[in-house]
Every structure is written in C-alpha cells, then in structure tokens.
Structure 1
Amino acid sequence: MSLTTDASSRAGTPAGVLAHVLRLLAEEAPADQLDVVAAQLRDPAVAPDERGVALLGRALADARRVRTLLDQRARREREMRVLVETARDLTSLRGTDELLRAIADRARQLLAGDSTYIALVEPATGDAVMRVTSGTRTPAIETVRQRPGLGVGGYVIQTGQPLATTDYRRDARLRRDPAVAAAVADEGFVSMVGVPIKLGTAVLGALFAATRRRHTFGQGEIALLSSLAGHAAVVLENARLYERVQEASHELRATNARLRAQGEALQRAGRAHERLMPMALHRVGLLEFADTVARILDGTVVVLSGDGRVLGQAAVPGAPPPLAVLTGPPPGAVVRAVPIGAGREAFGRLLFARCGPLSDTDERTLERAAQTAALLLVMQRQTSLVEQELRAELVQDLVAEQPPSWPVFHRRVRRLGAVDFALPHSVLVLSGQEVPRRRLLDAAVRFAARRGGIVGEHAGHAVALVPGTDAAALARAAAADLAAATGHPVTAGAAGPADSAEAVRDLHRAAARCHRLLLALGRAGDGAALPELGVLGSLLEEASAAQVGHQVERALGPLLRYDRAHGSQLVQTLDRYYAAGQNPPTVAQRLGVHVNTVYQRLDRIDQVLGSRSWRAPRGALELQVALQLHRLRGDPAEPPAPADPAALPGPARR
C-alpha cells in the first residue's frame, strides 16, 4: 500500500502518514516498505509542509528502530525456540549421534550457513575427529582428523576459545594441515567459525559453521553457536554418564547373578549336607548313594573301587550315561574324578559328569560326597570283616579236630544265614607258597563269595566251602582265579560234593589229602580233586614230594635220561606196552609204527635198564607205579621222536 492509495495520505497530512506507518508495523511488514514511505515523503506532490516532513522523518526513524527490535525479538524467539527444542531433545532417549546431528542441523538453520559439523577429541591422541556433519557435499570432509594446534579446530580444541575466520585459506593466524586444507577446498568453504564444546574446563570437541561465500560471523552468531555447543556438551556428558550407568547396571546385574548363583549354590550345598550325612548314619548302599548325589548335583555319578570295579552308578535325565563317563568324556560334558580315601588308605574314585560348568560349591559338594562314600565303604568293610570273621569261625569249627556240637552249630548257621548245607557243597583247601596269608584269604573270600560260599582257615591253609557238584572244576577255577588275584601260584585240592554239614566235615580231610598229594607230586599252582589222582591218591597220602621224586627216578630215571639225550620215545613205548597188556602188535597199532620198531625199542629198554626184570610181574608193577606218578606230577611228555626212531642202534627183532 502507498501514500497515493490511502485516504489520509492523499490529504498529505502527517496523521495519515503516521497511520500508514503504524499499520505497516502492525502487519509486520518488511523494513524495505518503510523505505518506500520515506522515498514518497521526498516527493513534492505528496509531501506536507516542512514541519510535517521533519515530524514524519522522526516517526519513520522510530518505526525503523521498532522494526529492528521486532526482527531481533523474532530472531531471539527463534533462537530460544531452537534452544528449548534442543534442551527437550536432551531428555529424550535418542542416540548420541542422532542428538549431535540434530544440533548441527539447527545451528545451520539458525545461522543460515552452508554447513555445520561437530568434531570430538580422541582421548588417546588429542586429535579432533569428525563425528557428525550437516550440509556437507564431499566424503573427505566427513573423515577429517585435525591435530591439536592446526586449523580452526586444532586452535579451538587446544585453547578452549572460539575462532572465526572470514577467509580460511588466506588467514595468516592459521597453521593448516595439507590434508584438511584440501578437504576444505574440495568442499568449497570460505568462511568458518568454531566454538569449543566444554564440560567445565575440559574441551570435549568443537562445533563449526562454514559458508561457501565470504561472511563475517558476528558475536551474536558466535554466542548462539556457543549455546548450542553447550547443549552438545550436555549430550556428550549424558552419553558418558549413560555409559557409566550401563556399565554399573551391567556390573550390578552380573553381581546379582553371581550372588544369586552363590545363594543357590549355598542352598544346594546345605541340601547336600542334609542329605549326605543321614546316608552315612543309615549306612545306605552305594547305589542309593550314587542316585542321591546325581540328583543333588544334577549329573551322572559312578563309584569305582580301587581295582576299577563299578560299585554304584546313577544319572539324572539328560545327563551323560555312566558308560560314556567310564569310556571317555562325552562331548561338551565336564568330568571330575575325586579320590575316595580315609587317611592314607585309598578305596577308589568318585566320577561325576554333567553338561555344564561346576561352581566352587559344586566342587566342594563333590569332595564332601567322596568323604561320605569313603565312610560308607569303611563301614561296609567293617561290617564285611565282622561277617567274614563269623563265617571263618564257622568253617574253623566245622573242620576242627573235634567235631562241633551239632545243634549249636546248626543254630549258628541259621542265625548267620551264610550257607545252606541242604545244597551240594564241595570243599577246597588252598595254599600259595609266595602269597601272604591275609592276601590269600581275601582273594579266597572274593572267589567264594561270587559263588555263594564261605572261607575259613585251618592248619595254615585257606578252606573254602563252595556250592557245586564238580569239585575238580572248582579246584581248577580257584587255582586260576587266586593266581591272577595274588600274582603268585596257588594250589587247590578239592573234594565233594556233600549235602550236609556232617558230610562236608568229612570232605575236608579228602580235600586236604588231595592238596598234599598235589604238592608231593610237584604240582604246586595246580587244582584237582582226589579222584583225578587215582588209586595212588590213597596209597601216597603221606608221601612227600622228595619221596615221589625218588621213586620216579629210581624206576624211570635211566629211561628218562636216555630219551632226553637221544630224542627217543622209550618211556612212552613202555607206558603203551603195559596199557596194551604187553602185546607189541597192539602197541605198534596205537603208536602208529611198525611192529619191528616196537621190538627194537623194547630191546633198547633192556639195554638201558641193564636187565629184563621189568618184564616180570614185580618189576612191571614197580615201573607202572613210577609211570603213573610221572603222569600225576604233570612232567612234560618225552621229546619228539627223530624222523626214523627205528634207526637207533641195537639188535633187530623179527
């Protein structure tokens, strides 16, 4: 609107001009419209008198000041609104980079600049490293790293003071880094201002504004930029505090988790203690013990004896199977082996496995469980020793020189419940020349216990009463088993079976006689029953090994030495000769040789023995006894015959 169109202005009165100026102010018209009014006042066709012109000139000057004040207020309102919005952002849960980028964007809008950006100090080097940008065009400026003291950023961060330059490339105050200068040139920046982002006296970084035209940054712009930098400092401090809170929260959660785990472990340890001690007091079996420990620790438990036998095992659902624990650690499973012992005595091992780590409390619970297992094994052994002593006394009384009181003996048998004499039993007499007494008895007890028998001691030998009808087989099994258990030969003489205590007592004498005969025959470490020794078993009951050896040497010695020296088979031929009723053709048939070969060997026997008396009844009996003793002693057979036995020197028989 102009003065020529206004009714009051057409009159050219000062009041009309003033009304028009006031309306422009009320409508917040731009300041250039006030300039239009001033130009029209200089028009003689429009202007009032001189006094009115002077008055209106002062009014227009006041209007310009009001317009300027209004513009400043509007600008400050915008600035305050931006600062308030930025402050509101600080209370949000947005990320640090997002908040810093919002500050850079608002600074660019308020300053009407081409670009703003924020660089932060790298603690390790002190360099200013670009963090966020707004309005940049090239990637080089977004990765700028400015050393302290160089460029605008280096100056601001080093001194903690703002710095503005109208011409970055020509400002003599600046020491420029070539790489940074090249990035600024590529971006086309001409003027630049930087203000520090400070927290107290510490400089955290800098906030920059730049234009691609020449521009002089005023104090108001620098102050506004500094206010926004203060907000950026709050953002960074909040981020640091938030990070510390997060770390503290993480540590607190970790501590709570550890405390919770320790609490649970202590509760589990308490429950373990409450359940382990009663097991020892009630003398539970090792199977129940393994099952209880497996459930307490949520895994697999295997109790092993000192010789590797499994005494008890158990596993909860989902835990590794016991066989896998014995053969090798399953994938992903934790396996522990805890020794079971009391003092210096070791009883075995406690194996534990589960799919998951073990806490210190779990480890201590395992050790406590191993102590409980040791206590159970000690009590079992003590109980077993008492039972074994009672059983040993029972055997000793049964085979003693004087028979026991049978009614009393049978009451003891029923009370002990260790043997049922209604079943057929065999008796074994056991000895080992190189085996300690206690070790032999322990091995014999284990052998007999596996078969439902009992063991005692009589006359320095172990005596076993074992259910079974094949005494010879039991004797051989006992000799082999005890030799393996003790590491030394064990001799076993057997007799049986019998199905009453009185008859078993009589068997002991026969088993003892068989045992003596085995030793006399030089068969220590062997097992046999009396019938296997034939009629000589009765004839030679009191014979010693030396006497048996003398008898064999006196009758067969020359033939045995001749066979060893010449590789012949005279002793074998003589044995077959008596077995065939002294019939040479039958001997030849049984030996698979020609009859002339038999005659040649018989002639050689005459020569070696120096007479033919062995053919007479008395000499034949003596040789047959010697041959049987030779077989019972288990002497090795004669050496293999040469390719042509008949080629031995001597006369031929037709």
Structure 2
Amino acid sequence: MGGTVDEGPVAATRDAFAYLELLAREAPAAHFDEPLRHVPPAPGTDATAEGDGATSDRARQLAREIQGKFERQQRRDMGSTALLDVAREFLASHGVDELLRLTCRRARTLLSLDIAYLCLYDQKTDSHVVKAVDGHSSDLTPGFVVPPGAGLANPATRRAAPVWSQDYLADTRINHSASIDEVVRAEGLRAIIAVPLGGNGTHFGVLYAGHRTVRHFSPEEVALLGTLSEMAAAALENAGLLDELRAETTARATEAVRVGEELRSVRRLAEAQAALMERTLDGSSLPQLLAAAGDLLGGSVLLADAAGRTVVGHGAAEAQPAPEAFTAAALAARATDAPVESAPGVWIAPVRGADDRLGHLVLHRAEPPTSEDAGLLRLCGQAVALLVRPGAVTEETVLREELAEALLIGGEWIGQRLLAHGRTVGLDFTAPFVVVAARPVAGLTDRALAWAAAYTRDNGGLRVRIDDHLVLLLPGDDPAEAARTVEAFARGMGSPATVGAAGPVTEGPGALPAMYDRSVRALGTLTALGATGKAASAQQLGPVMTLLSHERDVDGFIRATIGPVLEFDARRSADLAVTLEAYYAAAGSPTRAARRLYLHPNTVSRRLERITELLGPQWQDLTAGLDIQLALRLHRTRESLAPCPDSADR
C-alpha cells in the first residue's frame, strides 16, 4: 500500500541540514535567516504550521549559538596568537623604555582602542607617573603625574584586578580629579580600562587603555588585557634586572680599566725609577740625566737655581719665566709637592733631596703634566739630588738647627759661632737683616712650615719655629716691606698669617735677640688690635705697640723716640725736653712757648734747632709728633714717680 511522506519532518530536516551547511562554511550570522526564506513549504501543508516552524526556529537558534561560540573561539585564538607575538617581542626587547612603549602599542591594537598609556608607581611621591603613551593627540606626555587616590588607579591597585568604565566622565562611582578629567576631556575619551602591573606582591604601576566612544568591555577583552599586563610586568622586572646587571658589568669593566691604567702607571714609574737610578749609579752626567728625564716626559727638562737661573739644560733653549712668576710658582710647588705652571708651557717642580737649595726642575711641554708625570718629576728630582749633592742632608740640617738655637739663646759668646755657621749655609750677618714673626691663622700646619722654609731658603734667609709662630731672618733693611711680602706669600700659598717685623739689624748677630723681641711685640700688637692676617713693622705701630703689646717696653720706646734729647739734657742741662713740652703745649708756636718758659724767642728757636739736629727734621711730622708727645708724657710721669734721693737716704 502506497503511503504519503510527511513533509513536515522532511522540511525540518532539510532546514537543519541547511544550517549545518552554513556552519560548515563558517558563514556570518546574517546568513542564518536564508534557509527559511528560500525553502518552499511542502505541498498540501500549511506554511505556518506551528510544529514545523518551531523546529526550524530551534535549528536556527542552535546554529547561531554554535556560530557565536566559533566566533568567540576564533577571537580567543586570535588573542592568543597576538599574545604569542607580544611575548616574542618582549623577549627581543632590550630596555625598559622600549618595553613600556611596546606595551602601550600592543594594548591599544589588541582591543582596537584609540589610546593607551602606562604609568609607573613612584614610591617617593606616592603617585603614578606616565612613562609611555601610544595613540595620544593632546598634552598627555611622559612625565604627567596622576594624582594619588583619584581615577581608576586606586581601585585597580587595591583590588589587584582590572577596573573599567564605559563612560568615564559620566561615571559617578569614580573619585574624579580635575587634572585627570581635563586630560580625558582633551583626548575625547569615553570608555577607559585600568589594569594593574605587578608581580610577586610588588606593585609596578597601571596600564590604561581608552576609547573615544561608549564601549562595554567584554570578559574576553578584560582577560586579554590582564594577560598582557602580567606579561609586561614580568618583562619589565626582567628588563630591570638586566639593566642592573648591565650597569654592574659596565661598572666592573670601568673599574678593571682604571685598575689596569693604575697598574700600567705603576709599572711605568717603576721602570723609570730603575732607569734613572741606573744612570745615576753608572756615572752619568747631569745633562745626560736631564736628557733621560726629558725623553720620559716628552719635553725638555732644565735644572734652575732658587732665582730661576738655568744651571744645566737639555734640548733647545726655551724662554724662562719672569723671576716673580718663577718664585711664586716655585713656592707653590714646594708647598703642594706638585708641578705648578709659571708661564704657558713651563712647569716648575722642586728638587727634593740632599740640599734644600738644590733648585727646581723646569719642564717645557705644551700639555699639562698628569698625575703620572708628576710622579716622574719627583723621581727625576730625587735622582738629580743624589747626583748633585749626595749625603748633604745631615750636615745642612744640623747647621740650621744650631743657628735656630743661637737665635733663641743670644749672648756675646755666640757671635763668632753664628758668623761661622752663617757663612757655611750662605748667610752673611755683616749685611743688614730684618726679623719677621709670623703666626699662621690656621696654626703651624705642614703647609705653613713648607712655605716658610721655601721662602727663607730662596731668599737667602733662615726660618725658626718658636711656640705658635715662625721667625724669619731675612736680608734687607726695610722691615715693613718684608712684613708685607711675607704676608702676601703666605696668603698666596693658602696659609694666611699675621706678620710683625722689626729691624734692620746692622751691628751683627748679637742684636738679633732684641730685634726678635720687637718683632714678637709687633705681632702681639696686631693680635690685640684684631688685625688677624695683616702685616706691620714695629716702626709702623709706634706707640700703639708700647700700649698694647703683651711685653710693654716703655723704656725702649722712650729711648727710641727722644733718647738723644734726654742724653743731651743729662750732659748739658739744656732743658731740651722741657722746651719740647712747652712747644707742643703752645700748639707749635715758638713765640708762645718762649712766653711759657719766660725765655727770649731766639733762645727757644736755638733749642728747637738743636732738637732737629738730634732727632732729625722728621720730628715735626704729625705721626712723629704724636710719638714724641707720648714719650715725653711717659718720661715725665716716670720721673715724677721716682723716689727723691733724700727720702731714700732716710
């Protein structure tokens, strides 16, 4: 018996196969309405039959769900592939800055967003600072500081999970900040997502991504961006460690280079010392030794005396510096034990060795000496000292110590001994000498002792250390000029000093102790006046020294000021001192002075002429007049306080 086929189930089966065919072709979702439009209803059936229509709708719904899953899986696969590419890029990256820029670019492209920027956490300011931006169009640049506690960074960091808003400016759940809102408004952003960066319990910063339209971030997109942030955090941590390793490696390499250079320098100095000592011991002459020194230093080397005159030289003759410049450079070189430039291309270095007066090495070279060259110059100086005056240290030192002791002791018996010792070390006590007492402001440091020794040696004098000051015995007849010069040199050598001077001494070494006392009193007077770091002679201080010095020599001041007048009065009973007092009381008028003394004016005039013969014409100067008046007052006061002869007899 022939039967009829039920077209309802057949049509439903046909629709199901059609949907399966669409799924197999991976057709887009819009094509899933096609089977219902193109398949005609079965003959003799109602096209709107409820059962068949429901079956077709269910088949279409299932097909769409399956197709949606396929699309999501495809997006996940594409995201995984993209993350794999990012991992390769991270592994190939070489620096933190490059990683930051790459992370922003990938965050923007993975989710097809308009902008991405990355902030790192600054622990000092407790804020996030923008370090990299991709896709921006406003003033959002690296260096922008995200205010703490505002925006999406705080909740994202607190939750350690992504936080987003589909419309940032309109979102009332966010703690808004004016500066952040201004940037968001300038960029035209609506949707923003913030993902924390961190690892192993450490917070690095926050990765932001934004879109310029309202957008809902799907769970897949949030997860994708979260995975990217984890990869970026790991890469940044590794890059930081790698940068530290590179920095440490670079530092070690630099240190190795420095140590190698020092070793080469030490080796060169040792070889130079051996070569110079070999030349010294095998009988080489001084010109040959200086020639070897010039070869080592890449220039020409001369030996100059204390005055800068060339003793012996090597190579072409070069112009010597001016005497003043040479002296200043020589003093500085002895004080610092380092080469000092005295003229362009001319460097002075002391010869340290047997005799303090051996002189100086003069190096002519365009380039300044390096520290290694300074060491070579010292070695050359030692070799020159050994070659010129071997074994003279002990003799010279002893003689100078004996002269220092003689200056302190004094006495008539020491005179001939001083003369003999002075001639031995180049001193001539028959010529005028001045005595200078200098107290360094910083105390008797090695620098002060060095410049004092160098100054006296180069100027033909003698240096003595006494208590807290230095005594310089120098040739010359102007103590004021000597004091100023010594003070200037001390200041130039970095050791300022207060300086008092006295002299000149012309009657031999027996007068040195007394003149030394005057220089010390001048030094004490300057100290009492608060003139630290200044210089003056005893003559310049005059009566002030008598009043302020620690040891007041009133008798010496009276003798030095009006001594000839008092001696003349004692021999002739001429009353010259009385006439002087009347003259000053009469304001310098001989006529009024004569009325005070009940004498004829001519008598007063003759007495004043005699005073001029005894004291010199300068006695009428203003400064000398003040000294004379003070001396007269002191003399009169002392005379009035002396006991009468009759009362003494009783």
Q: Is the 8 A contact 1:113 1:209 kept in 2?
A: yes
What residue is the counterpart of 1:250 in the other structure?
250
Alignment of 1:168-187 (within 5 A): 168-187=168-187
What residue is the counterpart of 2:66 in the other structure?
66
Q: Is the 8 A contact 2:95 2:243 kept in 1?
A: no
Q: What whole-Å deviation, never above 9, does each CA across 1:104-152 have from its counterpart, x for those lacking one?
A: 2332233233332222223442322223333333325776421221111
What residue is the counterpart of 1:335 in the other structure?
347
- The aligned length equals 382
Q: What whole-Å deviation, never above 9, does each CA across 1:554-586 have from its counterpart, x for those lacking one?
A: xxxxxxxxxxxxxxxxxxxxxxxxxxxxxxxxx
For residues 113 and 98 of structure 1, what CA distance do their matches in structure 2 show?
A: 20
Q: What whole-Å deviation, never above 9, does each CA across 1:519-568 have from its counterpart, x for those lacking one?
A: xxxxxxxxxxxxxxxxxxxxxxxxxxxxxxxxxxxxxxxxxxxxxxxxxx
For residues 441 and 357 of structure 1, what CA distance do their matches in structure 2 show?
A: 35
SS in 1 for 2:357: strand
For residues 229 and 70 of structure 1, what CA distance do their matches in structure 2 show?
A: 26
What residue is the counterpart of 1:126 in the other structure?
126
SS in 2 for 1:302: strand
Q: Is the 8 A contact 1:120 1:130 kept in 2?
A: yes
Q: Is the 8 A contact 1:25 1:67 kept in 2?
A: yes
TM-fit CA distance, 1:36: 4.0
TM-fit CA distance, 1:358: 5.0
TM-score (norm 1): 0.50
Opposite residue 388 of structure 2, the aligned amino acid is L
Q: Is the 8 A contact 2:342 2:348 kept in 1?
A: no
TM-fit CA distance, 1:309: 3.4
Aligned CA RMSD, in angstroms, stands at 4.2
TM-fit CA distance, 1:441: 14
- Structure 1 residue corresponding to 2:29, chosen from 23, 26, 31: 31
Per the alignment, do residues 216 and 11 of structure 1 end up closer, same or farther by CA in structure 2, a change over 3 Å counting? Answer: closer
Alignment of 1:80-95 (within 5 A): 80-93=80-93
What residue is the counterpart of 1:150 in the other structure?
150
Per the alignment, do residues 31 and 295 of structure 1 end up closer, same or farther by CA in structure 2, a change over 3 Å counting? Answer: same
Opposite residue 370 of structure 1, the aligned amino acid is G
What residue is the counterpart of 2:137 in the other structure?
137
Per the alignment, do residues 110 and 364 of structure 1 end up closer, same or farther by CA in structure 2, a change over 3 Å counting? Answer: closer
Alignment of 1:284-363 (within 5 A): 284-314=284-314, 323=320, 329=341, 335-342=347-354, 345-352=356-363, 354-356=365-367, 360-363=371-374
Alignment of 1:522-541 (within 5 A): none
- Structure 2 residue corresponding to 1:372, chosen from 383, 401, 409: 383
State yes or no: 1:267 paired with 2:267: yes
For residues 204 and 262 of structure 1, what CA distance do their matches in structure 2 show?
A: 42
For residues 306 and 141 of structure 1, what CA distance do their matches in structure 2 show?
A: 67
Q: Is the 8 A contact 1:283 1:379 kept in 2?
A: no
Alignment of 1:132-531 (within 5 A): 132-140=132-140, 144-157=144-157, 160-314=160-314, 323=320, 329=341, 335-342=347-354, 345-352=356-363, 354-356=365-367, 360-378=371-389
Q: Is the 8 A contact 1:129 1:143 kept in 2?
A: yes
State yes or no: 1:116 paired with 2:116: yes
SS in 2 for 1:169: coil
Per the alignment, do residues 313 and 220 of structure 1 end up closer, same or farther by CA in structure 2, a change over 3 Å counting? Answer: farther
Per the alignment, do residues 236 and 437 of structure 1 end up closer, same or farther by CA in structure 2, a change over 3 Å counting? Answer: closer
For residues 226 and 322 of structure 2, what CA distance do their matches in structure 1 show?
A: 71
For residues 344 and 8 of structure 2, what CA distance do their matches in structure 1 show?
A: 102
SS in 1 for 2:217: coil
For residues 130 and 169 of structure 1, what CA distance do their matches in structure 2 show?
A: 20
- Matched residues, percent identical? 25
State yes or no: 1:100 paired with 2:111: no
Per the alignment, do residues 103 and 440 of structure 1 end up closer, same or farther by CA in structure 2, a change over 3 Å counting? Answer: closer
For residues 244 and 41 of structure 1, what CA distance do their matches in structure 2 show?
A: 71
For residues 331 and 10 of structure 1, what CA distance do their matches in structure 2 show?
A: 118
For residues 253 and 235 of structure 1, what CA distance do their matches in structure 2 show?
A: 26
TM-fit CA distance, 1:84: 1.4
TM-fit CA distance, 1:169: 2.5
TM-fit CA distance, 1:97: 4.2
Q: What whole-Å deviation, never above 9, does each CA across 1:426-456 have from its counterpart, x for those lacking one?
A: xxxxxxxx9969969999xxxxxxxxxxxxx
TM-fit CA distance, 1:65: 3.2
SS in 2 for 1:198: strand
Q: Is the 8 A contact 1:117 1:132 kept in 2?
A: yes
Q: Is the 8 A contact 2:162 2:193 kept in 1?
A: yes
Per the alignment, do residues 156 and 287 of structure 1 end up closer, same or farther by CA in structure 2, a change over 3 Å counting? Answer: farther
Per the alignment, do residues 292 and 174 of structure 1 end up closer, same or farther by CA in structure 2, a change over 3 Å counting? Answer: same
TM-fit CA distance, 1:281: 0.8
Q: Is the 8 A contact 2:351 2:385 kept in 1?
A: no
SS in 1 for 2:172: coil
TM-fit CA distance, 1:258: 0.8
For residues 214 and 441 of structure 1, what CA distance do their matches in structure 2 show?
A: 101
SS in 2 for 1:209: strand
Opposite residue 218 of structure 1, the aligned amino acid is S
TM-fit CA distance, 1:350: 2.3
Q: Is the 8 A contact 2:351 2:384 kept in 1?
A: no
Per the alignment, do residues 356 and 53 of structure 1 end up closer, same or farther by CA in structure 2, a change over 3 Å counting? Answer: farther
Per the alignment, do residues 170 and 49 of structure 1 end up closer, same or farther by CA in structure 2, a change over 3 Å counting? Answer: closer
Q: Is the 8 A contact 2:280 2:289 kept in 1?
A: no
TM-score (norm 2): 0.51
For residues 153 and 245 of structure 1, what CA distance do their matches in structure 2 show?
A: 31
Per the alignment, do residues 352 and 142 of structure 1 end up closer, same or farther by CA in structure 2, a change over 3 Å counting? Answer: closer
Per the alignment, do residues 68 and 331 of structure 1 end up closer, same or farther by CA in structure 2, a change over 3 Å counting? Answer: farther
TM-fit CA distance, 1:75: 0.7
TM-fit CA distance, 1:374: 0.6
Out of 288-297 and 95-104, give the one that drifted further: 95-104
Gaps of 5+ in 2: 1-6, 327-340, 394-417, 428-474, 477-650
Opposite residue 346 of structure 1, the aligned amino acid is R
Per the alignment, do residues 63 and 436 of structure 1 end up closer, same or farther by CA in structure 2, a change over 3 Å counting? Answer: same
Q: Is the 8 A contact 1:341 1:374 kept in 2?
A: yes
Q: What whole-Å deviation, never above 9, does each CA across 1:239-276 have from its counterpart, x for those lacking one?
A: 43343244224323321221221121122112112201
What residue is the counterpart of 1:20 in the other structure?
18
Alignment of 1:545-564 (within 5 A): none
TM-fit CA distance, 1:372: 1.2
SS in 2 for 1:131: strand
TM-fit CA distance, 1:52: 6.2
